[in-house]
Amino acid sequence: MLSVEVLVIPQISDQALARIASVDHRVKVVDARGWFDGEIRATWPQWTVDRYLGARNYPASTLEERNGVLATAEVVLLGWPPLKDLRARAARLKWVHELPAGASNFFDTDLWASDVLVTTSRGLTNRRPVAEYVLASFLHFSRGLNLSYRDQRRRLFDHQTYNPVLLRDKTACVVGAGGIGQEVGRLCAAAGMRVVGTRRRGTEGAALPPGFARLEAADALHELLRESDFVVVCCPWTKETTKLIGREAFAAMRPATVLVNISRGEIVDEEALLDALAAGKLRGVALDVYVGEFERPPDARLWDDERVVITPHVSAVTDVSEHRGMELFCANLDRYLKGRPLENLIDWEREY
């Protein structure tokens, strides 16, 4: 292997670019930061463009120039949003790494189920900030802080409706105890909560993750929901998990359950959620994601409900970045050059 051409598309720092180049003398970095912004703006919904690209400037490039760098690239580093027709234009492409964590980000691209190796930063994004978001949401509803906004608008207190509950000794169910889910479990346990959760295949005889009292396979979800006061969705979005939190799941939940979703909106059946709210089943819902978040605003019925808090996919955003996606990419680049297996490789059959 004489050299490996690495095409860098996302807006990473000069320092990160130099770090990639320093992995091995055979690495040839092609700096295409911002080159494809125009294509992304033309192929993604305006809602997504405004949210993730904004009004940032980008260098001018022709379609011929962009196709030229794609045609010779063996490795591509992507951010969000990804190119939708990358595989078709990159004949020599062997491996793609995305700095975000979700394999579902490729659902609508020609990389999905392709012959190209694709790795993600799954489990390596800002886990602690996400866990703090979850705990903050639990506290928000357990203390009835959402009701204070109602009272503030009316300038009239309704003392009897708050009914605060203590988090200590309450049970939190982590749906998807991967890297982020385990961090959520640790923080909830530190707050005195009993933590249970699901993982695709349970513990399989292995030791429980720190903070967890119980960890079961995915088919035990409803059983765990019956014993939980708080529920957080952390699992990846796949065909199997689409509308996983649906009518049967809401029926299994205890009265006055608090639900938090920090994964993908499509994992929660929003019509079933609205029905559960109408039936008074839930104490509160925090949604950092929602169905169609890359195309439009949330359903007005959710936005109008005082028991629902919706944020624009910011649970991982913080003043101190703990994102290790670039670290993984450089480590994987070294493995790639040495012919060793890559970490965090998407299994197209599992869909993550």
Say if residue 81 is preceded by a cis peptide, omega within 30 of 0: yes
Which three-class secondary structure string do you get for 172-197? EEEECCCHHHHHHHHHHHHCCCEEEE
39 flagged as catalytic: no
What is the C-alpha to C-alpha distance for residues 6 and 28, in angstroms, rounded to an integer?
Answer: 6
Element (H, E) at 202: none
Catalytically annotated residue among 295, 306, 322, 343? 295
The two tokens of residue 148 are 């204070």
DSSP bridge partners of 287:
261, 310
According to DSSP, residue 238 is labeled -
Rg (CA), the chain: 22
343 flagged as catalytic: no
Chain-centre distance for alpha carbon 333: 23
What is the C-alpha to C-alpha distance for residues 107 and 12, in angstroms, rounded to an integer?
Answer: 24
What is the C-alpha to C-alpha distance for residues 100 and 263, in angstroms, rounded to an integer?
Answer: 12
Give the Å distances, CA to CA, from 49 to 2, 90, 203, 295, 339.
Answer: 38, 24, 40, 9, 37
Catalytically annotated residue among 87, 199, 214, 264? 264
264 flagged as catalytic: yes
Catalytically annotated residue among 19, 140, 313, 324? 313
CB 213, CB 234: distance < 8 Å: no
**Residues 6 or more apart whose Cβ sits within 8 Å of residue 261:** 232, 233, 245, 267, 268, 285, 286, 287, 288, 289
What is the C-alpha to C-alpha distance for residues 293 and 266, in angstroms, rounded to an integer?
Answer: 10
Q: Which residues form the catalytic set?
A: 264, 295, 313
